[in-house]
Amino acid sequence: QLPTVAIVGRPNVGKSTLFNRLVGKKLALVDDRPGVTRDRREGDANLLGLEFRIIDTAGFETDDPQTLPGRMRAQTQAAVREADVALFMIDARAGVTPLDEEVALWLRGEDTPVILVANKAEGKAAEPGVYESFGLGLGDPVPLSAEHGEGVVDLFDALRPHV
Ligand code: GDP
Ligand code: MG
């Protein structure tokens, strides 16, 4: 039984891109339209030799259980609760949004350890967003570029104590 890592964050930050990179196959649909990952996807990940089960989650817009986004959010919360560690991903180019703050508030109240990942961190355009994310109260962000494969060693160092 491999340890489990859940990737969580608002739509379009790059969760599925990281999932695909770690699993090494295109199991998750990457799309720049928000909310394209409709259900949770799992795969066996390998990060520089570190092996774990990874879950790509979707949905955090509403907690109304009568709606599809509400059910997606409930599924995301269940995945985080079952996981050994959560990767909370923000888009460093977009900066911290109200929805990021909402997810962070929820994560701070959960027992699952959280690693804050500031994605899309390639280049200088991401620097203000990386800096801003210190304010989420989830520790130091790991700057990452899931698309370009930058920051992978720092992600390894952050994950290793948990998996
Ligand atoms: P999700 O909704 O969080 O699963 O996000 P996706 O993985 O579907 O990615 C959303 C968009 O962000 C896609 O157009 C990706 O190509 C893009 N993206 C993902 N990672 C990066 C990154 O590291 N840098 C940049 N610039 N774009 C990225
Ligand atoms: Mg996705």
Number of domains within the chain: 1
Contact 89, 7 (CB under 8 A): yes
Q: List the residue whose alpha carbon is closest to atom 18 of ligand 1.
A: 14
Q: Is the ipTM of this complex over 0.95?
A: yes
Contact 53, 4 (CB under 8 A): yes
Q: Which domain holds residue 96?
A: 4-159
Q: 57-100: per-residue pLDDT in tens?
A: 876 655 566 665 666 678 889 999 999 999 999 999 999 999 99
Token pair 């909370």: residue: 88
pLDDT score at 48: 94
Could you tell me the distance, in angstroms and rounded to a whole number, from the CA of residue 51 to the centre of ligand 1? 23
Could you tell me the distance, in angstroms and rounded to a whole number, from the CA of residue 11 to the centre of ligand 1? 9
Averaging pLDDT over each range in 66-75, 99-108, 130-139, which range is the top one? 130-139
pTM of the model: 0.91
- CA–CA gap between residue 111 and residue 35 (Å, rounded): 26
In which element (H, E) is residue 143 found? strand 142-143
Which of 10, 20, 21, 30 has most ligand 1 atoms within 8 Å of CB, for mutation?
30
- Look up the CATH number of the domain holding residue 43: 3.40.50.300
- CA–CA gap between residue 158 and residue 26 (Å, rounded): 24
- What is the four-CA torsion angle of 55, 62, 38, 82, rounded to 10 degrees? 20
Average of per-residue pLDDT values in the chain:
89
Q: 24-67: per-residue pLDDT in tens?
A: 876 666 666 665 555 558 999 999 999 999 999 876 655 566 66
For the CA of 38, the nearest ligand: 2
Pocket residues: Cβ below 6 A from ligand 1:
11-17, 30-32, 36-37, 119-120, 122, 145-148
pLDDT score at 73: 79
Q: What is the percentage of the chain residues whose pLDDT exceeds 90?
A: 72
Residue range 131-144: average pLDDT? 98
Could you tell me the distance, in angstroms and rounded to a whole number, from the CA of residue 28 to the centre of ligand 1? 12
